[in-house]
């Protein structure tokens, strides 16, 4: 996922499902155009991941 779409999701008033490695996550913020801070929705564990590794539900984006 690109940084612009991540910004749109963060600013949206809608709940948009996003996944990292098949797990639902909450986007906490963009650290830079390549890194994003997320929280695992199941464990609440926070981590920094590459922006390209996030997948929006309903898209068929491939990981780089």
pLDDT in tens, 23-60: 999 999 999 989 999 999 999 999 999 999 999 997 65
By residue range, what is the domain housing residue 45? 3-56
pLDDT for 33 equals 82
Number of domains the chain contains? 1
Does some domain include residue 15?
yes
Does some domain include residue 19?
yes
Does some domain include residue 26?
yes
Does some domain include residue 31?
yes
Does some domain include residue 12?
yes
pTM: 0.83
Does some domain include residue 64?
no
Q: What is the 3-state secondary structure (H, E, C) of the chain?
A: CCHHHHHHHHHCCCCCCEEECCEEEEEEEECCCCEEEEEECCCCCEEEEEHHHEEECCCCCCCC
Does some domain include residue 52?
yes
């Amino acid at each position: 996922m690109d940084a612009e779409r991540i910004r749109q999701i963060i600013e949206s008033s809608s709940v948009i499902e996003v996944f990292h490695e098949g797990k639902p996550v909450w986007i906490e913020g963009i650290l830079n155009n390549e890194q994003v801070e997320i929280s695992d929705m199941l464990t609440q564990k926070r981590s920094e991941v590459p922006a390209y590794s996030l997948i929006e539900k309903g898209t068929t984006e491939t990981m780089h």
